[in-house]
Amino acid sequence: MAQGSRDCITCAVRKEDCFCSLTSDALADLQSIGHLTHFEPGELALHEGYIADKVYVMCHGRMKLTASSAEGKLLIVRLAKPGDVLGLAAVLKGSTHKVTAEALEPCEAKAIGRAEFLAFMDRYRDVSRNTALTLALEYEGAMLSARRLALSGSASSKLAHVLLDWGGMGKQPAEEPFAFRMPLTHEELGNMAGLSRETVTRLLTKFRHEGMVQQQGEQIILPRPSAMQAKYCS
């Protein structure tokens, strides 16, 4: 884990639904606080059970957020992407982290201490608004995970939900093919869907034979996402 610098004002990551979608004054302030931290694959940003002393604003790369049981079983809650904020709820509550965040690939994130971030929120209305929006999106993601685990009736349905929800496709099924990079192993996909590694491997083979999934290395293509939605997620 190393530190560096990044220009928040000219960052190309910033989009409308991104936490960093702020006024010019707030962006200039964001540029001046905290420090950029680099994570290599496998390094941890958040530790489940540790006191939350900072938030991480994702700038580059993706991290997987996992929760563990007393028996050591893991559930992948979601994947964090550029524009997301890690550790937000725990920092606001002054509590311990409920998840662990592990880099899946080389990542960059701006680390901002708790007191500094709370003061940042107090100075700008749009920072407080985006903080609330980020928490709402986290809640929505948690609900999607709960629905997938508790309400999906079959293993096929659980895995299809994971693939469709990956890029928000579960919200609005589309006719156009959808492609995305899948950095998770079959075992990790199983942790996300509540399935065994063997079941994930078998189902992906089944989906390929049905023309629902195409794979090229880490890239997954859903040629007919609306058909997958109708068959497995209705």
As a CATH number, domain 152-232 is: 1.10.10.10
Question: pLDDT digits over 166-204, tens only?
Answer: 755 444 555 678 888 888 889 988 888 888 999 999 999
Pinpoint the alpha helices (H) of the chain. 24-32, 88-93, 114-123, 125-151, 155-165, 186-193, 197-209, 225-232
pLDDT at 170: 46
The pair of structure tokens assigned to 158 is 């659980």
Question: pLDDT digits over 31-56, tens only?
Answer: 999 999 999 999 999 999 999 999 99
Question: Contact at 8 Å (CB) between 84 and 134?
Answer: yes
Give domain limits for the chain.
2-143, 152-232
Question: pLDDT digits over 41-98, tens only?
Answer: 999 999 999 999 999 999 999 999 988 877 777 888 888 888 899 999 999 999 999 9
The pair of structure tokens assigned to 33 is 């606080």
**2-143 domain in CATH 3.40.50.970?**
no
Q: What's the pTM?
A: 0.77
The pair of structure tokens assigned to 172 is 């609005």
